């Protein structure tokens, strides 16, 4: 008798693992927004209110607060667009975030600073591609949002240019 229960348990575990698999990227609805939650270190691909995918992220070395000036190593906060992409990057693929926006420029110039720029969502540098787990447990960028190489490949495929990105504290 116990073996029948064990067999039923194993079938239930295998079935739940099979059905819990994420849908293939080709079967997903269009991504209409990307949300990065800095406090949770998560990036969400969204369709309306539906979360399609979730990825862990690394942020700038000084992750608390909004980016105010070049060199502060902060990741910006607010709403921007993913306005262009680069397959020829120092990192494994890169999607450009439209920072600085008008408010960012005004704030930086009012304080006598340069706002900085070239903020991206990107994969890992080539020499560290095998160290994804270690790098994703640290905040190591100069203000960009880093994900694993596998994640950036999927994000690259699912997100079109001019998609809104919201970066929240």
pLDDT along the chain (169 residues), means of 10: 50 45 71 97 97 96 92 96 93 95 94 94 78 75 94 96 98
Measured between its terminal Cα atoms, the distance across the chain in Å is 54
The bridge status of strand 42-47 relative to strand 120-122 is unpaired
Q: What is the largest CA-CA distance in the chain?
A: 78
Task: Give the pLDDT of residue 27.
Answer: 80
Task: Give the pLDDT of residue 23.
Answer: 59
Task: Give the pLDDT of residue 13.
Answer: 44
Task: Give the pLDDT of residue 66.
Answer: 93
Give ∠ CA 29-143-88 in degrees, rounded to 5.
65
Indicate the pTM of the whole model.
0.82
Task: Give the pLDDT of residue 28.
Answer: 87
For 138, the token pair is: 């640290």
Give per-residue burial for 81-90: e unless 16+ CB within 10 Å, then b.
bbeebeeebe
Distances (CA, A) of 166 to 34, 75, 119: 6, 12, 13
Task: Give the pLDDT of residue 126.
Answer: 74
Q: Which residues contact 34 (CB under 8 A, 6 or more apart)?
A: 43, 44, 45, 46, 82, 121, 155, 159, 163, 164, 165, 166
Task: Give the pLDDT of residue 73.
Answer: 95
Task: Give the pLDDT of residue 15.
Answer: 45
In DSSP terms, 77 is beta-bridged to: none
Domains and CATH numbers, the chain: 29-168 (2.40.440.10)
């Amino acid at each position: 008798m116990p073996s029948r229960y064990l067999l039923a348990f194993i079938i239930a575990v295998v079935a739940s693992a099979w059905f819990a698999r994420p849908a293939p990227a080709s079967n997903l609805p269009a991504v209409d927004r990307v949300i990065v939650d800095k406090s949770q270190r998560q990036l969400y691909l969204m369709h309306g209110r539906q979360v399609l995918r979730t990825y862990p992220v690394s942020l700038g070395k000084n992750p608390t607060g909004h980016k105010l000036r070049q060199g502060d190593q902060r990741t910006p906060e607010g709403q921007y667009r993913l306005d262009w992409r680069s397959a020829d990057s120092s990192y494994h693929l890169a999607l450009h975030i439209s920072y600085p926006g008008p408010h960012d420029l005004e704030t930086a110039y009012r304080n006598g600073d340069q706002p900085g720029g070239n903020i991206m969502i990107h994969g890992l540098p080539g020499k560290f591609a095998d160290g994804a787990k270690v790098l994703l447990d640290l905040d190591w960028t100069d203000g960009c949002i880093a994900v694993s190489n596998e994640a950036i490949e999927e994000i690259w495929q699912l997100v079109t240019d001019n998609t809104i990105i919201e970066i929240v504290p």
